[in-house]
Structure formats: structure tokens, C-alpha cells
Amino acid sequence: MSRRSDKANRGAQTSFPRFFTKQLLAFLLLAFLVVVVDFFLYAAIAYSESENNFNDGTPITTVRAVDAGLAQEDNGAYALSPEAGDVLAEQGAWALLVDDAGAAVWEKDVPADVPRSFTPADTAMAAHYGTLADRPAFFWSRDDGLLVVGFPKDTYWHMTMALPESTIRNLPLYVLLLFAVDLAIFFVAYFVSRRRTQRAVAPILGALDNLSEGRPSTLRLKGDLADVGERITEASALLEQKDAARANWIRGVSHDIRTPLSMIMGYADAVAHDERVPEDVRAQAAVIRAQGLRIADLVTDLNTASRLDYDMQPLDLERIHLARTLRSVVAAHANDGLDEAHPIELEVDDDAADAVVLGDERLVTRAVENVLANARLHNEGGCSVSVRLSACPSEKASGGGRDADASPAAAAAAEPVGSAVISVADDGAGISREDLAALEARLARSRTAASASGCAVGSPSSTATAEHGLGLVLVDRIARAHGGSIALDGAPGEGFTVEIGLPLA
């Protein structure tokens, strides 16, 4: 898995808990808000009920009004004040005064089915259950007896409750226990929800990682995310079709350009070597031939880069003897007459004479040729080019480290015990530090950019590095496809150096 995938997975592992933690905190805050709202709502309802039922007109106020308004006159009879009588009338209530012997000595609007005499047991039972003749009744003790105030049926409900003292004492603990259980339920719901969501979203994250790395993705999800899976699958298929169309278009253009370009180069070569043609025309024909070769190289680079972009370049893996390959490249350079202004020297270190790498010899050759072409292109006035092959026993050596972003094709190579470094250095015009930094940044962008150039249109670095064309970008991609890397160095007036590090087989 690439560093980008690892980073995405790490981001997912940290973002999901953070997301669900926020959701849980929001839920707890909402629950707390609900409790606060419920408390104030309860207070408001209690206040309203108190105002409506526990002030004037309530049983207790009615009983107290009757008690205050009932008095015994000098002749021994009882009389109720008009105010107290009005209170009873407003409530539809009745009143009864029972003496210590259990006989009714005074009554007001008492229904006929209410008894007028009571035994101590009758009085105790009526007071305990709060009813008398199936009517709610309230009792008030007076010096001259027991005052009973009754109300119409179904107006009040009387409840008696007896709780152990230990229950009341432990009530705060019970409240804390309920709160702890509720909190535990919240956390269990949170973890279960997070686990279920992670399992549901993990395939989607994997599919998005595949799409970001140019690999097709097919999702067959169930449940609420089924539509998301279908859309990702459709998007993957559409991107694959577009990639295939682009690759086919590039191959078609490359093929169509080669035929007329070959004719142009053939005629230019014939004119350049025709002694009957004036010298200036022969020189112009040579320029046409050189530029034609450059166009041919660019077309080849474009086609190869496109294949590498979409993992369509088949790596014909074989054991490559690098010293022999480099000699062939240098010999071809001399045979093509390209060493007149750009002489090349090849140096092979003793410890690298038998260096072998596992890779595609055609692509490795192409990478070296592109570096040589880069030296010729930026030193038209001429320069000397030195090609050196060395071996590094450690992967930490220059250019020899295995890139974690290397393509899957590099996995076919055996675990390297060291690196072979191909160094191509010229003593030409060199490159400024600013342009070198911009070029390295461009190579870094090309490893993740959708375009082969790795340079965004209109970006500040596009002008500084555009002159290097596709050549070094392609060299970097070929090296990474083989599990290697490249390193650049140079200074104004001190030449330019490219090192290609490849793992030894």
C-alpha cells in the first residue's frame, strides 16, 4: 500500500472517532438540554397546578374556611358564617361535625346517604382512605370534635403511601444509579453506532483510495448505502472508459505521427548527405533531421508516460546487466553521430561491473537516453557528458532507496540488498538553485498529478521548469516503476547531474 493510502487510512482512523465523539457530545448536550427544559416545564406546570388547585377553592382552604366560620353559640347550637357557607356552595361541598361520641352535632348540605353517627373504627377507616359514602372527604380535628368536609364524587383522588426510612435515605444513591445506567447506555449506543458505521463506510473509503490511485473499484453494498456503492461503481467505470479512450487516442496519434515524421526525417537525411546540395541547405536539412528526432523522442515519451500513468505499460521483467546496457546506449549515441558536440565517456566501477537489476530493459534504456537527450537539449553549444555506473551496498545511498510510492509492478522484484546508481553528469550551463528546486517540486507533483507533466497550467513553477519537457518526468516514473528513484544536482556554470538508483536483483 502506498504512503498516500496509509495516510488516508490513518486519517480515517482518527477522523471517525473524532466525528462520533462530536456526535456523542452533541447528543449528551441535547439530553442535558432536554432535562433542563423538562425541569422548567415541570416547575411551570407545578406552579400552574398550585395556583389553580392548591390555593383558594382547594380542599385544605375549604376545610380551613369552614373551621374558621363554624362557631358554637351561647345556646349550644352551631352556626356557620355566610362567608364559609359561600365557600362550601362554590365547591358543591358539604360539612359535618362529629363529637367525641361519634354523633353528628352539626351538618351543612350533607347528602342523605352519608351516615350521621360513627364508631371509632368507622372514623379511622374513613380518615385513612379519605372517603365517606364513596365521596372524597377531608378531616380536621377541633376542640369540640372532628370536622368532616366532603366533596362531590370523582372530584378528588386520595392516595396514601408509606415508605421505609431506608428507602428515603438511599434515594440519592438510586438517582445516581439511574444516571450511571443512562450514561452507560449512551456510551454503548455510541460505540455500537461507530462500529457499525465504520464497517459500512470502510469499503467506500477503500474504493475512493483506489479511484484516487487510478485503480477501478466495484462496490456491492447493502442497506442505506447501496445507492452510494452503485454511484461509486458507475463513476469508476466512467473513469476507466475515459482513461482507456485517452490511452487509445495517444497511441493513435503516436502511430499517425510516426509515418509522416519518418518520411520527413528520411528526406532531410538524404538532403543533408547529398554533396550536390549547397552547404547551407544541407545544414538546414540536418537541423530538420535533429528536430525530427526530438519530435520522435517526445512522441515516444508521451506514449510511454501515458502507459505508466494508467498501469498499462507491461513490464517485461528480466535480469538486466547494466554495464552491458550502458555500453549499448553510449555506442548507439556514437553511431548516430550525436557525440560530435557532446562527447560521452562511460565509467563502470569495479564493484558494479556485474551489477544486475530486475526490470524492463527497454524502459531502463529509455530512461538513460532521456537523460542524455536532456544534456544535449540544454547545452546546444556543446558539453562533455560522463556516464558512470556504481553500486551502493545500502539502500540509504544516493538514489538507491526504494520508494514507498513505487508502482505495484516493482513488487515483482526480489528484496534488494543494495542499489545500482547510474549517474549522468555534464559540464554544461548547469541550473540555478531556484530552477532546481522548482524542477524537484514538479517531479514530486507528477507522482500524484493527473497530467503527465506534473505541472499545473499557469502555476508559478510551470515557466521555470517547462524547458525540461517530459524527459525527466518520464525518467522518474520509470525509476519508480522499478522500485527506484532519481536525484538531481547542479549549479550555474557547473553542469547538471542526474542519478538513477535501481535496486539490485
Please give, one letter per residue, the 3-state secondary structure of 485-503: EEEEEECCCCCEEEEEEEE
Per residue in 212-254, pLDDT (tens digit) is: 766 778 887 776 677 777 888 888 888 777 777 766 666 667 7
pLDDT reported for residue 309: 60
- Which residue has 469508476 as its cell numbers? 236
- Which residue has 368507622 as its cell numbers? 122
> What are the DSSP calls for 178-204, one per residue?
HHHHHHHHHHHHHHHHHHHHHHHHHHH
**Confidence category of residue 395, pLDDT binned at 50, 70, 90:** very low
pLDDT reported for residue 264: 84
Q: What are residue 141's DSSP bridge partners?
A: 146
Question: Distance between CA atoms of 477 and 338, rounded to whole angstroms?
Answer: 26
Maximum average pLDDT range among 83-87, 167-171, 228-232? 83-87
Q: Per the structure block, which three cell numbers stand in for 142?
A: 377541633
Question: Distance between CA atoms of 261 and 116, rounded to whole angstroms?
Answer: 130
| 3-class state of residue 442 by DSSP | helix
Q: Are 232 and 211 in contact (CB under 8 A)?
A: yes
Q: What would the mean pLDDT of 8-25 be, rounded to a whole number?
A: 58
Cβ-in-10-Å burial (0-12, 13-18, 19+) of 449 comes to middle
pLDDT reported for residue 146: 92
**Confidence category of residue 474, pLDDT binned at 50, 70, 90:** confident
pLDDT reported for residue 20: 61
pLDDT reported for residue 415: 43
| Whole-number Cα distances in Å, 195 to 19, 144, 229 | 12, 75, 19
Maximum average pLDDT range among 16-20, 317-321, 401-405, 448-452? 317-321
pLDDT reported for residue 51: 67
Q: Are 395 and 419 in contact (CB under 8 A)?
A: yes
Q: What would the mean pLDDT of 257-266 be, rounded to a whole number?
A: 79
Q: Find how far residue 304's CA is from the centre of its chain.
A: 34
- Which residue has 540544454 as its cell numbers? 378
H helix runs in 213-278, sequence order: 226-272
The residue ranking higher by pLDDT, 93 or 57, is 93
Q: What would the mean pLDDT of 53-68 be, rounded to a whole number?
A: 79
Question: Distance between CA atoms of 344 and 379, rounded to whole angstroms?
Answer: 13
> What are the DSSP calls for 31-98, one per residue?
HHHHHHHHHHHHHHHHHHHHHHHSSTTSHHHHHHHHHHHEEE-TTS-EEE-HHHHHHHHHHT-EEEEE
Report whether pLDDT(111) > 80: yes
Q: What would the mean pLDDT of 67-89 be, rounded to a whole number?
A: 90
Other C-beta atoms closer than 10 Å to the C-beta of 122 total 14
Question: Distance between CA atoms of 259 and 257, rounded to whole angstroms?
Answer: 6
Of the listed ranges 11-15, 253-257, 303-307, 347-351, the least confidently predicted one is: 11-15
Secondary element (H or E) of residue 142? strand 135-142
pLDDT reported for residue 489: 93
Q: What would the mean pLDDT of 90-117 be, rounded to a whole number?
A: 91
Q: What would the mean pLDDT of 366-381 be, rounded to a whole number?
A: 87
**Confidence category of residue 501, pLDDT binned at 50, 70, 90:** very high
pLDDT reported for residue 356: 93
pLDDT reported for residue 54: 56
Question: Distance between CA atoms of 473 and 301, rounded to whole angstroms?
Answer: 9
Of the listed ranges 97-101, 272-276, 450-454, the least confidently predicted one is: 450-454
Secondary element (H or E) of residue 344? strand 344-348
Question: Distance between CA atoms of 502 and 399, rounded to whole angstroms?
Answer: 8
| 3-class state of residue 248 by DSSP | helix
Please, what's the b/e burial string for 70-101 (b: 16 or more CB within 10 A of its CB; e: otherwise)? Answer: beeeeeeeeebeeebbebbeebebbbbbbeee
> What percent of the chain is predicted at pLDDT more than 90?
21
129-136: long-range contacts (C-beta < 8 A, 24 or more apart)?
129/158, 129/160, 130/156, 130/158, 130/160, 131/158, 135/111, 136/59
pLDDT reported for residue 457: 37
Q: What would the mean pLDDT of 86-99 be, rounded to a whole number?
A: 91
Maximum average pLDDT range among 199-203, 290-294, 359-363? 359-363
Report whether pLDDT(35) > 90: no
**Confidence category of residue 397, pLDDT binned at 50, 70, 90:** very low
**Confidence category of residue 55, pLDDT binned at 50, 70, 90:** low
- Of the candidates 365, 371, 328, the one whose C-alpha atom is nearest the C-alpha of residue 472 is 371
- Of the candidates 505, 483, 502, the one whose C-alpha atom is nearest the C-alpha of residue 417 is 505
Residue 487, phi then psi, degrees to nearest 5: -135, 140
- Determine the longest span between alpha carbons in the chain, in angstroms: 165
Cβ-in-10-Å burial (0-12, 13-18, 19+) of 373 comes to buried
Question: Distance between CA atoms of 117 and 285, rounded to whole angstroms?
Answer: 141
The radius of gyration of the chain's CA atoms, rounded to the nearest angstrom, is 49
Residue 13, phi then psi, degrees to nearest 5: -65, -30
**Average pLDDT value over all residues in the chain:** 78
Question: Distance between CA atoms of 248 and 93, rounded to whole angstroms?
Answer: 100
Report whether pLDDT(14) > 60: no
- Which residue has 558539453 as its cell numbers? 383
